[in-house]
Amino acid sequence: MTATFPCTSDCEATQICERCRRRKAPRGRSVAPEMAGGLCDTDCPGYREEPRPGHLWPGELARLHAHGISPMDSTEDVAEETVTS
């Protein structure tokens, strides 16, 4: 069973890649070409390793709430947290 949960500040978490030492881009999000060279992305082997980045850009949660949008985690993120009873 897959469920979704409301996004929290953890969804905006920015992490530093242990391999390239650059800030990791949010999971599943496009990066503007002018930012691409400064962020760790899926081309780096360390991108998918711990610590994992959030899936929102920093400050995005507040902007969404300001517009009355209640974002939800993707099912990919939740699948790891699903509790089986």
pLDDT tens, position by position, 51-65: 999 988 888 888 888
Name the pTM for this structure.
Answer: 0.67
Tokens 């994992």 correspond to 52
The mean pLDDT of 32-37, rounded to a whole number, is 84
Tokens 């980045």 correspond to 53
Question: What is the torsion angle, in degrees rounded to the nearest 10, for the CA atoms of residue 63, residue 66, residue 67 and residue 68?
Answer: 120
Torsional class of 76: left (φ above 0), alpha (ψ -120 to 50), beta (otherwise): alpha
> How far, in whole angstroms, is CA 51 from its chain's centroid?
11
Mean of per-residue pLDDT scores for the chain:
78
What are the structure tokens assigned to 60, written together?
């995005």
